[in-house]
Amino acid sequence: MALQNCEIAAIRLRLALLRSAYDAVKAGFNADQPRDERGRWNGGRGGTSVVVVRRDRTGHPKIDLTSDRLVELMKEVVANVGPGKGALYGTAIHSETAKQIRDADFPGIGRRGVEQSFSLGDTVRYGLDGSIRTDIVLRDGRTIAAPILAVWDIKTGGAKLTPERAAEIRHHLGVGDDVPIIELHISKGLDAKSYIYALLSSFSIIGLKL
């Protein structure tokens, strides 16, 4: 017997709720934490306002989707960690972001694509002397042999990704200018809001292969 339209709608709604709950668990959402009127954790002290001000696009659907997911995850991290300043605060944001990205197990990043050490085109033991440590690496597949699609570098406050660092990253990853390095940036405005943007650095992309 064919299902009535209302029954189909009810099943769809239930599926959507289940998907939403699953996403929330993966993102580390804890319903018991104190939250503001928009559902963001405020640590019981009024919370931090987080605004996304810029999302650069590469035109590559996988990269752009991952950028979006990372920005949303960072919004949650900044809101959860709460307000602060200084190198330790920035490091705390970085550490929490790394943990959340590992837990989220994004396709093409997984757990290994976070804070991975590279030397001359190969992955090496974490922190090996002479190697370089990347923040987030997206591959076109699950295995370590899959080609690298993009790299994200997280910066806080006034810190910027320098052309020299971008060149070092490319050299050690063994990739060319076609692999974009995207700066995910968290800064704080005069109004104490946190601003997040995904910046595709002008020196980091020349003729992206689609």
Partner 1 sequence: MSMDLYVFYDGRLPNLIEWQKTIDGHGFDLKFSRDQIVIGEGGLITAKWKTRDVSFEFRPCDFDNLIETYDDIDFGRRWSTTYVFYWSGLPECVAAYIAAVTLAQMRNGIVFDPQDSLILRDQEALRVARENELLLPKIEASLRH
Contacting residues toward partner 1, per CB under 8 A? 81-82, 85-92, 94-98, 115, 127-133, 135, 153-154, 156-160, 162-165, 168
- Residue closer to partner 1 (CB basis): 12 or 160: 160
- Residue closer to partner 1 (CB basis): 192 or 210: 192
Q: Which of 49, 139, 152 is nearest to 94 (CA)?
A: 152
Backbone angle region of 175, left / alpha / beta, with phi > 0 → left and psi within -120 to 50 → alpha: beta
- Residue closer to partner 1 (CB basis): 65 or 82: 82
CB 155 within 8 A of CB 171: no
Long-range contacts of 128-131 (CB under 8 A, 24+ apart): 131/172
Tell me the H-state helices in 61-207. 61-81, 87-104, 163-173
CB of 121 to partner 1, least distance (A): 18
- Residue closer to partner 1 (CB basis): 21 or 192: 192
Please identify which residue in the block is written with the tokens 């690496």: 137
CB of 89 to partner 1, least distance (A): 7
- Residue closer to partner 1 (CB basis): 58 or 97: 97
Structure tokens that stand for 74 in this block:
């960072």
CB of 147 to partner 1, least distance (A): 23
DSSP 194: E
| HSE toward the beta carbon, residue 202, CA cutoff 13 A | 0
What end-to-end distance do the CA atoms of the chain give, in Å?
A: 47
CB of 4 to partner 1, least distance (A): 48
CB of 98 to partner 1, least distance (A): 5
